[in-house]
C-alpha cells in the first residue's frame, strides 16, 4: 500500500492552514476562534486524507499512467534494481527512509514521555498546596509559574496571599479551566508525526501564544497596565516543555503586551472567519478526489493483474503435461532458474534509450539429456526484448530432465520475462 499521497496531502493542508491564519486571522482579537481554527485545522489536515471519503471523478487512467503487468512467475529485468527485484518503495516498511523516520519518532516520543514523567515526579515529590480546586506544586527552580491540566507548578517562595501571586494563579487557572493542555497534547502528537515539516512548529507556537492571549485577556480585566507590569517583572527562565503552559515566555512577551493593549476590533472582523469555509470545503474536495483517483488506480491494477494471470493460465494450460517429476535446474527449482536468468540477462541499451518495456513469453524444451532446445518466442513484446530473452535462455546450463513413468522425458516449458524501466530512466 502506497501512503505517500496521503502524507503529501496532509503536509499541503497544514501549509494551507498556516497561510490562511497568517493572512486572515493572526492580527484579530477573536482568540477563541483563532484557537479552534489552528487546532481544528491541524487535526483536520492530518486525518482528512486518511478518511474513506471519495468524490467520484471521471478520468481516463490510461492517459495518465501506464500500469505495469504484475508477474506471478518468471523474472523481471530492471537495469536499476536488477532482475527479479521490482525495487523497494521509497517509504515502504523496512526501507532506509522509513527506518530513519521511525527512529526519530521513537526518539521524540521518548523525550515527550520523559517530560511527562518529570512533571509526574515533581507532582509526587515536591511540596504542594491547594488553591481553589487546583493543586499547586512548589518548585525550587528559578522558573516562571506554569500549568499542566489542573496542576500549577510555582517557583518558591509561594505566597498565596500576595496580589501578584494571585494574578499569576488566576492566569494559570484560565489555562486549566479551558483545557489548553489537551490542545498541546494534540499538537505534540502532530509535531512528532510531522517533525520534518517546519509548518507544524509554527502552528504549535502560534496556538500556544493564542492560549496566552486568552488567559491574559481573562486575567487582566480592566487593569491592563498593572497586569502588564506583572508580566514584565516575571522575566524568569521558563522551561521549554511541550506539555505545559508558562505564565511568562520571553519570546511571547512583546506580542502578548501588544495584543493585551490593542483596541478590540469591530464585529465586522468576525466575518473573516466565513472565509475559512471555502478552505475547509476545498480540503475535503481535494482529499475526496485524491482518494477516488487512488481507488481507481488500484482497481485498474487489479484488473490488469487478473487479465495477466488469466493469460498466463491459458498459455500454461496449452502446455500442461502430467509428469511424475518436473525438470530440475542445477538440483533446484524454477526459482533458481529465475535467479540464473537475472544474473545473465542484459537489458538492451537501445531498448532503454527508446523507453521500450514489456513482457516476453519464451517457450523452450528440456529434452531427455537435460539440454535446453527449441527456444522460441511464444508471445512477443518487442524484437529487442524478444532477442535478449531468447539469447539468455538458449545459454542455459543442462537441467535434470523430467520423469514420466520412471523414464526421462522431454518437456516443453514457457517462462515470462518482464522488462521494466524506472520513471527516472524514461
The conformational region for residue 158 under phi > 0 = left, psi -120 to 50 = alpha, else beta, is: beta
Residue with cell 508477474: 71
Q: Which three cell numbers stand for residue 43?
A: 487535526
Residue with cell 520412471: 406
Could you give phi then psi for residue 259, rounded to 5 degrees? -70, -30
Write down the CATH superfamily of domain 319-425. Answer: TonB (3.30.2420.10)
What residue ranges do the domains of the chain occupy?
Answer: 4-68+93-120+159-286, 319-425
What's CA 94's distance to the chain center, in Å?
Answer: 14
Q: What is the pLDDT of residue 177?
A: 92
> What are 309-313's contacts with CB under 8 Å, separation 24+?
309/72, 312/72, 312/73, 312/416
Distance between CA atoms of 16 and 5, rounded to whole angstroms? 16
Q: Bridge-partner residues for 408, per DSSP? A: 403
Distance between CA atoms of 316 and 319, rounded to whole angstroms? 5
Burial of 48 (0-12, 13-18, 19+ CB in 10 A): buried
pTM above 0.75, yes or no: no
* Cβ–Cβ < 8 Å for 156, 144: no
Instruction: Report CA dihedral (396, 398, 404, 405) to the nearest 10 degrees.
Output: 180
Q: Which three cell numbers stand for residue 217?
A: 485577556
Q: Residue 337 contacts by C-beta under 8 Å, 6 or more apart in sequence?
A: 329, 396, 415
* Cβ–Cβ < 8 Å for 211, 35: yes
Model confidence over 327-373: pLDDT tens digits? Answer: 888 767 677 888 888 888 888 989 888 888 888 888 888 898 989 99
Q: Residue 167 contacts by C-beta under 8 Å, 6 or more apart in sequence?
A: 219, 227, 230
Which among 111, 108, 152, 110 has a CA at the least distance from the CA of 129?
Answer: 152
Distance between CA atoms of 14 and 44, rounded to whole angstroms? 9
Write the CA distances from 162 to 131, 165, 169, 215, 361, integer angstroms. Answer: 13, 5, 11, 19, 89
- Give the angle 342-348-349 at the CA atoms, nearest 5°: 125
Q: Which three cell numbers stand for residue 79?
A: 537495469
pLDDT beneath 70: ranges in the chain:
1-2, 53-95, 222, 233-252, 263-271, 294-323, 331, 333, 422-426
Model confidence over 14-50: pLDDT tens digits? Answer: 999 999 999 888 888 889 999 999 999 999 999 988 8
Distance between CA atoms of 145 and 168, rounded to whole angstroms? 7
Amino acid at each position: 500500500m502506497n501512503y505517500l499521497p496521503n502524507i503529501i496531502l496532509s503536509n499541503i493542508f497544514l501549509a494551507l492552514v498556516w497561510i490562511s491564519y497568517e493572512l486572515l486571522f493572526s492580527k484579530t482579537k477573536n482568540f477563541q476562534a483563532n484557537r479552534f481554527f489552528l487546532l481544528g485545522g491541524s487535526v483536520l489536515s492530518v486525518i482528512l486524507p486518511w478518511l474513506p471519503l471519495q468524490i467520484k471523478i471521471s478520468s481516463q487512467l490510461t492517459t495518465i499512467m501506464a500500469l505495469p503487468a504484475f508477474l506471478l512467475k518468471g523474472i523481471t529485468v530492471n537495469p536499476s534494481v536488477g532482475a527479479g527485484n521490482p525495487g523497494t518503495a521509497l517509504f515502504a516498511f523496512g526501507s532506509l527512509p522509513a527506518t530513519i523516520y521511525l527512529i526519530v519518532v521513537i526518539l521524540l516520543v521518548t523525550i515527550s514521555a520523559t517530560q511527562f514523567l518529570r512533571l509526574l515526579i515533581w507532582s509526587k515529590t515536591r511540596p504542594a498546596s491547594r488553591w481553589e480546586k487546583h493543586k499547586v506544586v512548589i518548585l525550587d527552580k528559578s522558573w516562571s509559574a506554569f500549568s499542566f491540566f489542573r496542576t500549577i507548578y510555582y517557583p518558591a517562595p509561594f505566597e498565596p496571599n500576595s496580589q501578584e501571586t494571585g494574578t499569576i494563579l488566576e492566569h494559570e487557572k484560565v489555562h486549566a479551566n479551558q483545557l489548553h493542555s489537551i490542545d498541546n497534547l494534540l499538537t505534540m502528537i502532530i509535531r512528532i508525526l510531522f517533525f520534518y515539516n517546519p509548518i507544524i512548529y509554527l502552528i504549535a507556537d502560534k496556538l500556544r501564544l493564542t492560549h496566552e492571549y486568552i488567559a491574559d485577556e481573562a486575567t487582566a480585566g480592566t487593569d491592563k497596565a498593572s497586569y502588564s507590569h506583572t508580566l514584565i517583572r516575571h522575566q524568569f527562565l521558563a522551561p521549554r516543555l511541550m506539555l505545559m503552559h508558562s505564565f511568562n515566555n520571553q519570546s511571547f512577551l512583546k506580542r502578548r503586551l501588544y495584543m493585551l493593549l490593542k483596541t478590540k476590533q469591530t464585529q465586522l472582523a468576525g466575518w473573516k472567519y466565513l472565509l475559512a469555509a471555502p478552505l475547509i470545503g476545498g480540503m475535503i474536495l481535494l482529499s475526496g478526489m485524491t482518494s477516488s483517483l487512488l481507488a481507481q488506480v488500484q482497481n485498474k491494477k487489479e484488473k490488469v493483474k487478473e487479465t495477466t494471470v488469466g493469460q498466463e493460465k491459458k498459455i500454461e494450460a496449452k502446455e500442461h503435461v502430467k509428469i511424475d517429476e518436473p525438470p530440475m535446474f542445477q538440483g533446484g527449482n524454477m526459482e533458481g532458474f529465475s535467479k540464473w536468468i537475472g544474473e545473465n540477462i542484459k537489458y538492451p541499451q537501445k531498448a532503454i534509450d527508446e523507453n521500450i518495456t514489456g513482457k516476453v513469453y519464451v517457450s523452450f524444451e528440456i529434452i531427455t539429456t537435460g539440454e535446453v532446445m527449441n527456444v522460441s518466442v511464444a508471445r512477443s513484446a518487442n524484437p529487442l526484448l524478444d532477442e535478449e530473452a531468447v539469447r539468455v535462455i538458449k545459454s542455459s546450463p543442462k537441467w535434470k530432465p523430467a520423469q514420466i513413468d520412471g523414464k526421462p522425458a522431454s518437456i516443453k516449458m514457457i517462462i515470462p520475462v518482464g522488462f521494466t524501466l524506472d520513471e527516472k530512466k524514461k
